[in-house]
Amino acid sequence: MGMKRIITGAFCISALLISQHVVAQGSGSNSLNINSKTAGQPKKPVIKKPKPLSKEFSVGLRVNSDGWGLFVDRGRLRSEDRNPDMFHNVRIIQVELSERRHFKEIKAANTSSSTPGASNPSSFIYGKVNSFYTFKLGYGNRRMIAGKPEQGTVSIHWVYVGGLSLGLLKPYYINVSNGFETKSIKYSDSTSNQFINYNQIVGSSGWSKGLSETKIVPGFFLRTGFHFDFANNKRAKMAIETGATLEYYTSEIQQMAMQKEQSMFFNVYAAFQFGKRK
């Protein structure tokens, strides 16, 4: 009986090994058949999508109702936008340098023969006390109202920016003559009579005169408007913007003699800017 059990067990083990070998051969042949079918087929090309746009840089010219300015914009696309190439919402950092002019500013030239030096007079602005420049650093957003469904169309945005505004006041010097000598003066309590006496004015002392006496008056500004982007290429920036700006300064600013000083200013503007996106 013992020998019979041994022979039976050996037979069962041999049958199991043979069945496993047959199964392994069958699976190997199937994999070879699959490989042989796919080996001759060309691989599908992998199409790489263009890198989403994320930044914007532009420069521009702003014409205000009371002056003009040059500005630089740096924009960053908000990450939560669903379509970054459309620029639905852009964070803006803006730097601007501008000149503000009083509505009473008028250029003149004194050609009176009784004034020494009047034979070749230089132009001047009668009654101007200070040249008023502003340096602005702002932060804001540009939100799309009507978008560009395709390239070559115009998109409309609402833009709002606010931040720091530094008023730069440079004294305005003029050359005056009393009939004996000519000197350069700026407006003050002691020179006010000469400063506004038109017959004694020879002309302006030049833009650089008084530059070292420039005073800084801190303040802030708010700006809002509509931005029209008409660039044909999504990587190019070309736009026109219209809106209004409100500025407030911590002390009253005098631009003209015999005119009221003020600390709050309001203007409307039109701007043109161009640049690129990447």
Measured between alpha carbons, how far apart are the two ends of the chain, in Å? 89
Task: Report residue 224 as tokens.
Answer: 């809002």
Q: What is the pLDDT of residue 34?
A: 46
List of residues 6+ apart from 24 with CB closer than 8 A: none
pTM of the model: 0.76
- DSSP three-state, residue 212: helix
Residue type, 177: S
Which domains does the chain carry? 55-105+130-169+213-277 (2.40.160.20)
Structure tokens at 171: 């004294």
* Single-letter amino acid code for the residue at 40: G
What's the pLDDT at 72? 97
The reported pLDDT for the residue numbered 226 is: 97
8 Å CB contact between 203 and 110 = yes
Whether the Cβ atoms of residue 137 and residue 97 lie closer than 8 Å to each other: no
> What pLDDT, on a 0 to 100 scale, did the predictor assign at position 154?
86
Q: What is the mean pLDDT of each run of 10 residues along the chain (278 residues)?
A: 53 54 49 51 61 85 96 82 62 96 89 55 90 97 80 86 98 90 92 91 92 96 95 86 98 94 97 92
Q: What is the pLDDT of residue 147?
A: 74
Contact between 60 and 94 under an 8 Å Cβ cutoff? The reply is: no
